[in-house]
Structure formats: structure tokens, C-alpha cells
Structure 1
């Protein structure tokens, strides 16, 4: 058991940032004042998050991240960039208040997409980077973002 505790693991703490954005997006349907909070939200990469983190697990989380196969790490990073783009797109649409585009529709589509992508990122982290999420997930998410913009 003591040996197991020395295994370096990725940390889902990183996803708290995206879960916060999801919560704000969902609140925006009822309270437009949270749009300012969404405007100030910024996505960070996994490495950047843990480099500034005071968490005890940060050094281990970074070491585990460095050990992930580069192609898999690149796929995860692309997924994270896509999630950040989704948050920024939803924020812009909610702030813009285009005629004919109901905030509830933006919130519904964006929150469903973001929730699904957070789930994929969680799977990757829980599998300690052994899951190959690749660019297929990011392309699917970009298609959803494009569809949201086309409405």
C-alpha cells in the first residue's frame, strides 16, 4: 500500500476551473449579471494551473503529466483549448444578446457540450493519461461550437 501512494497521478483539481465556467454558464440563463464573471474567466493549461498551485499534489501532478505520452498529452491539451473556446463563445453569445437567439438555448447547448467534454477530460485524468482522446473529440466540439454560432 505504501508503494501505491508513491505513484504519481494526474489530478482532477485542474478541472475545477472548467466546472466553475459551466456553473456560470448555467446561471446566465436566469441571471445575466454573471456574464461579467464569465468575461473575466480564463482557461489555463494543466501545466500552467499546477505551476501556480499551492496544492500539495501539484509537484506529483506535474511529474505525472510529464510522463504522459506526448501524443496523448497533445490530444488532452487540444481538448482543454476547445473547452476554453466553448466557454468564450458561449460568453460572447450571451453578452451579445443577438435578436432571435434565446439565452436559454445558448446555455443549453453550451452546458451540455461543456459537461460532456469535462467528462472526457475527467476520464483522461482518472486513467492517468493512458486514454487517447485525440483530435476527434476536439473536432466534434468545434462542430458544436460552429453550430451554436450559426443559430
Structure 2
């Protein structure tokens, strides 16, 4: 992750600022992966509530990256970005694990239900650092 490289090279913040989130379908529509078509078809076949939950989880990851990037961009050069990077990376890894569980469960079961309070708690953790 670029985010985790910021303590080594602060210029990476510029790369993070240039990053733009894509929706799940948009990502796979532009992807050269062999499974891109199947991924888009699986997403389109989801129950509406499951799709909304997954989209909310993806949006939370995007907000977390944008928030961490903004905090790092505003941080004076003499300050250590390690705490922001550590908190944001841990939170992102948790969210990625939840998205992976959702995908591996084919959008079924408990993994499909994302607690919006837990998602907001991850974002709040970054803001508090």
C-alpha cells in the first residue's frame, strides 16, 4: 500500500492525493483480469440490500483513504506520519478483510451485513489521531 510507504518517503502523499476511487463495476470494467466479467456479473446479481451494504463498505474504505491523505498532506514535514499511517492502515486492513469475507461468501451470510457504526468507528479513529 502506498499509504504504508509514507513514513519512508513523504512525497508519496502526492501520489495518494492523485488517487481516485472507482466503484466496483467501474474497477472491473477497466480491469484486464480474466475474472472481471464474472466479478461484474456477480455484483449485478446481488440482492439490493447486500449490494448497498457492500457499496457502503467500499465507500468507507474510500473515505478512510481520503481522510488519511488529507491529514498527511496537512502535517508539517517535521512531524512523524507514523501514527496516522498505522491507524489508517490497520483500519483499512479490517475493512478489506470484511470486503474479502463478503466476496468469498458470494454475497451471502453474515459477511453481507456491514455494521455502519463499526465503519464509522474506523474513520473516527483516523480523525482522532
Do structure 1's residue 96 and structure 2's residue 71 form an aligned pair?
Answer: no
Gaps of 5+ in 2: none
TM-score normalized by the length of structure 1:
0.76
Equivalent runs, 1:27-106 vs 2, <5 Å: 27-97=5-75, 102-106=80-84
TM-score of the two chains, using structure 2 as the length reference: 0.88
Rg larger for: 1
Note closer, same or farther for the CA distance 1:144–1:59 as it changes in structure 2 (3 Å cut): closer
Q: Distance in 1 between matches of 2:17 and 2:97?
A: 23
Unpaired segments of 5 or more residues in structure 1?
1-22
- Tell me how far 1:47 sits from its aligned partner: 1.1
2:120 to 142, 145, 151: 142
* Cα RMSD for the two superposed structures: 2.0
Instruction: Point out the structure with the larger helix share.
Output: 1
Which deviates more, 107-116 or 94-103? 94-103
How many residue pairs were aligned? 128
C-alpha displacement of 1:101 = 6.7
Q: CA separation in 1, counterparts of 2:91 and 2:79?
A: 18
Q: Map Cα deviations across residues 10-67 of structure 1 (whole Å, 9 max, x no partner).
A: xxxxxxxxxxxxx111101221011111111111111111222233322221111111
> What is the CA-CA distance between 1:148 and the residue it aligns to?
2.5
Separation in 1, partners of 2:113, 2:78:
35
Give the drift of 1:128. Answer: 1.2
- Structure-2 residue corresponding to 1:9: none
